[in-house]
Structure 1
Amino acid sequence: MSNAENLIHEIDTFLEKSMLKTSRITKEELTGFIEEKWREADDEKYNIYQAYIIISRMINEYIQVKDFDNMARWLTFSDRHTASQNTPSYILHYYAGECCLECGNEEKALEYFRLSYAENPDYIFSRAPFCYEFFNRHLESPRELPDRTEDSDEYPDLSIELDCWKTFFNTEDNEFRYELFDEEDDYLYEPTLEQQNGLDYLKENQEKILKNILNELLKQYPELQQTYGYQEGDKRDFMPDINDISGFSDLLSPTCFYVTSVVKDGYPYIGFGFTCSWDSEHGLGIMTCKDRIVETGGAEVAFNTWAAEEDL
């Protein structure tokens, strides 16, 4: 009987623990644990999709420390996985070349890029600029490349300063990203009058809004614990018992705020997205109107307007 599924699950759980705000797991401990469990797992691991994600993670870990030999070894694991079987070889060659270039091995990168280029001459030029610019310098007849000096983001980077939130979540700065949406759910460059009212209200009442969000979550937390059903050590790491809202500071991190076009009494509904320790895939979403909690749930609650529309 295969042991791969259980061992891949162990790796996955360890990875999730390493990403917790309270984690003290070092990079060396992370890669060491994964290497050990990977060796223990039989070849059925190459048929488990989560293992493919783990391979990509290990490739990136070794790229970060410029460890070419170990990175290249994990590239061979990637090639063996069934998820790679239906991927065109020019894409696989390009990916390998990009990894080699990031790891500092230009000679090997060029070798892979040439293999990709031979099969599909246009593909590399649709990918990362640092790759195609490097490769283009080695072509006998270089292509004319687009001028990137005037490149700019399509949408501005919008943020709001919330000192209270910074203190509670222990973030590096007090600026939190937000997005603006029109009635068609398209991005806006500038807030409407009502949306600006909402942003001003958030800044002026940031502590009250945060407390209301956390108090509502605290009410629901015991039921959420039962739903997720973490046991023993995993519960302590991912969803520990807490007695007051201060316990959420280590379990949550704000990701993005969503200022919708749905308006009530001159103020927009604003959704708040969070990562949460107990559900790394779905996260946490809260929809509000001023300082009132409208709906809680997965991350989609923060940016889908159905809860706001039903509340009107």
Structure 2
Amino acid sequence: MSNAEKIIQEIDVFLEKSMLKTSKTTKEELIHFIEEKWSEADDEKYDHYTAYIIMNRMIQEYIWKKDFSNMMRWLGLSDLHKASQKNASYIRNYYAGQCCLECGHEEKALEYFNICYAENPDYIFSRAPFCYEFFNKHLENPRDLSHREINEYEYTDYPPLQLEYWKVFFNEDEDELSYEILDEDDDYAEEPSSEQQNGLDYLQENQKTILDTILNELLKKYPELQKIYEYSEEDKGEFMPDLKDIQGFAPLLSPNCFYITSVIKDHYPYIGISFSCSWDSEHGLGIMTHKNRVIEIGGADTAFATWAAEEDL
């Protein structure tokens, strides 16, 4: 009988625990645990999608260590997974080239990029700028990249959002918290409208009131969420412990991004906030607000779901 599913689940839980704010697990400990468990699992592990995610995590860990040989070993292992085989060969070769470049091995990266380019000349130029800019320098006839459009996922450089109370509460190391200004098509706007600027100013001037209101509303909903996620007694204390007050959220949440929407009421925009949370690393937590009111609590997508704001108008 296969042991793959059980072991992959053990690795997945270990990874989840290692990502908690309270975790003391080092990268070296994480790598050692996964290597050991992976070797114990039989070949049915190559049929489990979670295993494919784990394999890509190990590739990234070895890129971080600049350990080229082990990174290449895990790239080879990932090619054995059925999920990898669903991708066209030029996609797999591009990914291998990107990993090699990130790991500091330009010669091998160029080898993979050339294979990708031979199969699909346009694909690499639709991907990460640091890859196509590197590759373009080695082309006999380089492409003109001066008129390339900004990738829709690249952030606009806005003035910093200073929320000192938030940073202290969540023990965040970043000097600034990320935010995005959305236009009527939910694309990134280059600058805020006057109403959106009102919202940014209100957020900074009333940051304690807003955060306390958010967490108090979340505290009311928290028992319901605990029932939904149904953590075992063994794991509940780490992922979703019982809470008596809002201070208990400090080690469980981290703010990711503030979304300043284009939906306006009384000259102020609706603002969505996404959080990473200990109990759902995949979907996160999202909250839609208007000034100091909480409109909706849900998954991370709630933070930019303008329908939640429009229903409140």
**TM-score (norm: length of structure 1):** 0.90
Deviation at 1:41, TM superposition (A): 1.2
Q: Determine the C-alpha separation between the residues in 1 that align with 2:155 and 2:220.
A: 40
**Alpha-carbon offset, residue 96 of structure 1:** 1.9
Distance 1:38 1:296, change over 3 A: same
The answer to which of 33-42 and 105-114 deviates more is 105-114
Root-mean-square deviation (CA, aligned residues, Å) is 2.4
Paired position in structure 1 for 2:37: 37
Superposed displacement of residue 71, structure 1 = 0.9
Q: Check the 8 A contact 1:162/1:174 in 2, yes or no.
A: no
Which residue of structure 2 lines up, in the alignment, with residue 177 of structure 1?
178
Q: Which residue of 2 aligns with 1:211?
A: 212
Cα deviation for residue 9 of structure 1 reads: 1.4
1:20 is matched with 20
Contact 2:274/2:287, CA 8 A, preserved across alignment: yes
- Residue 305 of structure 2 is matched in structure 1 by 304
Question: d(CA) in 2 for partners of 1:135 and 1:183?
Answer: 37
Cα deviation, residue 111, structure 1? 3.3
Is 1:60 equivalent to 2:60 in the alignment?
yes
> What corresponds to 1:120 in structure 2?
120
Q: Is the 8 A contact 2:196 2:260 kept in 1?
A: yes
- Is contact 1:7-1:41 (8 Å) kept? yes
Q: Residue 143 of structure 1 corresponds to which residue in structure 2?
A: 142
Instruction: Name which of structure 1's ranges 26-35 and 214-223 shifts more when overlaid on structure 2.
Output: 214-223
Report the Cα distance in structure 2 between the residues aligned to 1:128 and 1:98, rounded to whole angstroms. Answer: 9
1:217/1:122 Cα in 2 relative to 1: closer, same or farther (>3 Å)? closer
* Distance change (3 Å), C-alpha of 1:173 and 1:103: closer
AA of the residue aligned to 1:258: Y
Change (3 A) 1:157 1:48: farther
State whether residues 158 and 191 of structure 2, in contact with CA within 8 Å, keep that contact through their aligned partners in structure 1.
no
Contact 1:294 / 1:311 at 8 angstroms: preserved in 2?
A: yes
Contact persistence 1:158–1:178 (CA under 8 A): no
- CA distance 1:131–1:189, change in 2 (3 Å): closer
Name the SS for the 1:80 alignment partner.
coil
AA aligned opposite 1:303: F
Aligned-partner residue type, residue 103 of structure 2:
C
Look at both structures and tell me which one has the larger radius of gyration over its CA atoms.
1
Q: CA deviation at 1:158?
A: 5.1
User: What amino acid is aligned across from residue 217 of structure 1 in structure 2?
Assistant: L
In 2: Cα distance, 1:210 partner to 1:132 partner: 42
CA distance in 2 between partners of 1:268 and 1:149 (Å): 32
1:225-280 Cα offsets, whole Å, 9 max, x none, are: 12111113311111112221111111001111122222222222211111111011
Tell me the equivalent position of 1:232.
Answer: 233
Q: Deviations over 1:179-227 (max 9, x none)?
A: 2223333332222222222222211111011111111111111221121
Amino acid at match of 2:79: D
In structure 1, the residue matched to 2:250 is: 249
Question: 1:262 and 1:94, CA in 2 relative to 1: closer, same or farther beyond 3 A?
Answer: closer
Query: Match for residue 282 of structure 1?
Result: 283
Shift in CA distance, 183/56, structure 1 to aligned 2, threshold 3 Å: same
Write the letter of the residue equivalent to 1:247. G
In structure 2, the CA distance between the partners of 1:77 and 1:292, relative to structure 1 (3 Å rule), is same
**AA paired with 1:261?**
S
Deviations 1:139-193 (A, max 9, x none): 5x34245259998967333542111111101112452222222333333222222
Amino acid at match of 1:116: C
Amino acid of the residue matched to residue 146 of structure 1? L
| Aligned partners of 2:169 and 2:250 also within 8 Å | yes
Which amino acid counterpart does residue 292 of structure 2 have in structure 1? D
SS where residue 161 of structure 2 aligns?
strand
Q: Which moved more, 1:28-37 or 1:80-89?
A: 80-89
More displaced 10-residue stretch of structure 1: 190-199 or 62-71: 190-199
Following superposition, the deviation at residue 115 of structure 1 comes to 3.0
Q: Is 2:272–2:288's contact at 8 Å kept on the other side of the alignment?
A: yes
- 2:94 alignment partner, SS class: helix
Q: Secondary structure at the match of 2:275?
A: strand
Mean alpha-carbon deviation: is it higher for 115-124 or for 44-53? 115-124
Q: Which moved further from structure 2: 128-137 or 252-261?
A: 128-137
Instruction: State how 1:53-132 maps to structure 2 within 5 Å.
Output: 53-132=53-132
Aligned match of 1:51: 51
User: In structure 1, how many angstroms separate the alpha carbons of the residues matched to 2:229 and 2:28?
Assistant: 30
Change (3 A) 1:205 1:109: closer
Report if the CA contact (8 A) 2:180-2:259 is conserved.
Answer: yes
What SS does the aligned partner of 2:202 have? helix
Deviation of 1:301 (Å): 1.7
Structure 2 unaligned residues grouped into runs of 5+: none
- Post-superposition offset of 1:108: 3.0
1:267 counterpart residue number: 268
Deviations 1:45-100 (A, max 9, x none): 11111111111110111111111111111111111111122322222223223322
> Comparing 264-273 with 47-56, which one deviates more in the overlay?
264-273
**Residue 195 of structure 1 pairs with residue 196 of structure 2:** yes
Q: What CA deviation, in whole Å up to 9, does each residue of 1:26-54 have, x standing for no partner?
A: 00110111111111111111111111111
Provide the rounded CA distance (Å) in 2 between the counterparts of 1:101 and 1:198: 42
